[in-house]
A = this chain, B = another copy of it.
Amino acid sequence: MSVKHPKLFEQLKALAGVTAAEWLKAEALAQEQALKKKDCFVRPGDPSDRFGVVLQGLFRAFRVSESGGESVKAFRSEGEMIGPYAELLQGIPSLTAIEALEPSRVLFWKSRDFQRLEQGHACWSMLARRVAEQHYILKERREQEFLDLSAEERLLRFWQEYRRLEKRLPQREVAAYLGITEVALSRIMSRRRKRA
């Protein structure tokens, strides 16, 4: 048996000291899933019992409010984690939809299987901790942006952070990420064009 996803392994080794032996076990438990554009990895109401890593493609994690509006919590592309993470931690069904914006492939685990890995080696707990910490740092950064930046400034920061996704993201999704409507975003962009 040999490692099927060496890049992923390197990443986890660096992050949490995952060993080659443990990674082989993990790969044995993992499943792969292919998704077409608009397919969901998770939809609201699903049990929060799986999480994965994007092998190829692009996802958006979003919620629909009672009023029907969609707000985007995150975009995730190659090498990044996807899953209804907060709900999984709380042991509740997913409130989040995670949808492919492009034809995509993910490698995923059932959370039961991951728990079995955790029993076997401390590196997996360490990984869970690092993941929680990273996620926290990101959300805190975003909180700060909502607290003291205007929509236009948030847009700027967004493109600094997600340069690599330029051209892959429809504008409506960017607007839903910023917490504004597509109309407002269009207006902001034309304002900027004029000022320039």
Note all chain B residues with C-beta closer than 8 A to A73: 140, 143-144, 147
Q: Is A122 an interface residue (CB 8 A)?
A: yes
Q: Which of A43-51, A125-133, A158-166 contacts B (4 or more CB under 8 A)?
A: A125-133
Partner of A148, one of B69, B126, B132, B147: B69
Residues of A41-100 at the interface with B, using a CB-CB cut-off of 8 Å, are: 63, 65, 67, 69, 71-73, 85-86, 89-90
How many chain A residues touch the partner (CB < 8 A)?
A: 31
Interface on chain A toward B: helix, strand, loop, or mixed SS? helix
Partner of A146, one of B63, B132, B135, B146: B146
Residues of A112-151 at the interface with B, using a CB-CB cut-off of 8 Å, are: 122, 125-126, 128-129, 132-133, 135-137, 139-144, 146-148
Q: Is A17 an interface residue (CB 8 A)?
A: no
25 inter-chain pairs at a CB distance below 8 angstroms, sorted by A residue, are: A63-B144, A63-B148, A65-B148, A71-B147, A71-B148, A73-B144, A73-B147, A86-B136, A86-B140, A89-B136, A89-B137, A90-B137, A122-B122, A125-B125, A125-B126, A128-B129, A129-B132, A132-B132, A132-B133, A135-B136, A142-B143, A143-B146, A146-B146, A147-B179, A148-B179
Instruction: Give me the interface of A with B, judged by CB distance under 8 Å.
Output: 63, 65, 67, 69, 71-73, 85-86, 89-90, 122, 125-126, 128-129, 132-133, 135-137, 139-144, 146-148, 179
Q: Apart from A135-B136, A136-B139, list 20 A-B contacts with CB within 8 A.
A: A63-B147, A63-B148, A65-B148, A71-B148, A72-B147, A73-B140, A73-B143, A73-B147, A85-B136, A89-B133, A89-B136, A122-B122, A129-B132, A132-B132, A132-B133, A132-B136, A143-B143, A143-B146, A146-B146, A148-B179
Which 10 pairs, one residue from A and one from B, show the smallest C-beta to C-beta distance? A132-B132, A71-B147, A139-B139, A129-B129, A146-B146, A65-B148, A136-B136, A132-B133, A147-B179, A86-B140
